[in-house]
Copies of this chain bind each other. A is one copy, B any other.
Amino acid sequence: MAERYTTVGVGLMGLGTVGTGVYKLLSRHDWLNVCRIAVRHPNQKREIVDLDTNLLTTDPFEVVRDENVRLVVEVMGGLEPAKDLVLEALRLGKHVVTANKALIATHGELLFQTARDNNACILFEGAVAGGIPIIQPLKLSLAANRVQEIAGILNGTTNYILTRMSQDGWEYDQALAEAQARGFAEADPTNDVDGFDTAYKISILSSIAFQTRVDPAQLSVEGIRSISAKDITLARELGYGIKLIGLARAAQNGAIDARVHPMLVPLDHPLASIHHEYNAVWIQGDAVGDVMFSGKGAGEMPTASAVVADILAIGNDLHTDNPTPVPGMRVQFNGQALLQPVSDTQNRYYIRLNTRDVPGVIGDLGHCCGAAGVSLESVMQKGITLDANGQIKTAAIILITQMVYEHQLQDALNRIRQLETTGSVGCVLRVLG
């Protein structure tokens, strides 16, 4: 081997859960030298035994500007000051590794451009699905494909809640409380349960898959708060599980159909067997067919595994006497994605109706759907009882539609709501596949 090896100076911004894991894994490689660490509380007791406290600073810009630092690792989270720090590092020609999904989803285009302009790399495998390799495989291993669809279970908190609701028959509130007690959910669970975390991640994945910027702020996002144990039970009887899905599809005319919402997932779909805090990304490419990547989506060591893989990928290159940024690791967007309006998206739908009365209701529903151009795949009556006169009454009717446009579905729902026989529309969910 002709190469000479040099030590690579690494600056670490953040020494919380993930940062501590990164530090531990980096200690396996003596040619990677952590030479500056930014922390919020320098006197805090830490679980790293041999930490040299002289490396610590409360000013992260000191890490970025340290002349020994050639590679900056950002694991502090949040948009500011992370954005300014990463930009400054890239402008100084330093390579950056980050696990910050909000940062990449929101400012990725600017960061990637700044990296290119300064012949630097920015990698972010840890930003999506923790330790599961997905960013590099999408950029490199699936590069020969035109991606047709990505469907991901990208948030461990909501998947844990939905799993407990499904397996234990719990309602949402009980499952959320259990997730909080086990440390899977935060005291304020909004970011997870309302789908914002998933929105960041599907926006990053679809941006890479379709090589165009998908703005997370423009996605249609629905969370899982309104999912009931009743719908989970009914869905299972019909052969489906309910999962919070980040979805991105190549639509007509170059548009991208990207959104986040709970979906009925057929029980024989690979995503249906992803339970508890596990994450998975299912990808359909025009050459490879369907592939799936699954594993634990978060936690100290899984996320650190992804961050350190990125550090090694850059570091292995810097480490020789002929360092060059790796072009295959670059991301370049062809402008802003044209997002398909939700009303123009196509889906199959699950509709649970609370009906007052049976005679005629099926026929009425059929008319409403027919008038809106919505074909039905199945109609199921549940909880049938007889009233005092011996007339059949039913508590719920479940419709599954064929593939229809959202605007057709809304038209049908409006017509159904006006029926005298319909009590209320209890739940509407989209169906995967």
Contact = CB atoms under 8 A, between A and B. Distances in A.
Contacts of A296: 288-291
Interface stretch (A75-83, A140-148, A347-355, A379-387): A140-148
Interface stretch (A52-60, A200-208, A307-315, A421-429): A307-315
Given A21-B287, A273-B273, A327-B317, A312 B133 contact: no
A301 B287 contact: yes
A25 interface: yes
B328 A142 contact: no
A142 B307 CA distance: 10
- Copies per complex of this chain: 2
Interface residues of A, number: 55
Contact of A291 (B285, B295, B320): B295
A293 interface: yes
A270 interface: yes
A293 B136 CA distance: 14
B141 A309 contact: yes
Contacts of A174: none
A344 B145 CA distance: 44
Given A21-B287, A285-B305, A301-B287, A140 B313 contact: yes
A304 interface: yes
Contacts of A313: 140, 143, 328
Contacts of A307: 144
Contacts of A341: none
Given A291-B293, A296-B290, A304-B287, A309 B144 contact: yes
Nearest to A320: B327
A316 B328 contact: yes
26 contacts: A1-B116, A131-B288, A132-B291, A133-B133, A133-B137, A133-B141, A136-B137, A136-B141, A137-B141, A140-B313, A143-B308, A143-B312, A144-B307, A144-B311, A270-B273, A285-B305, A287-B308, A288-B302, A292-B292, A292-B295, A293-B293, A294-B294, A312-B328, A316-B328, A319-B327, A322-B324
Given A140-B309, A316-B327, 4 more contacts: A2-B119, A136-B136, A287-B302, A320-B327
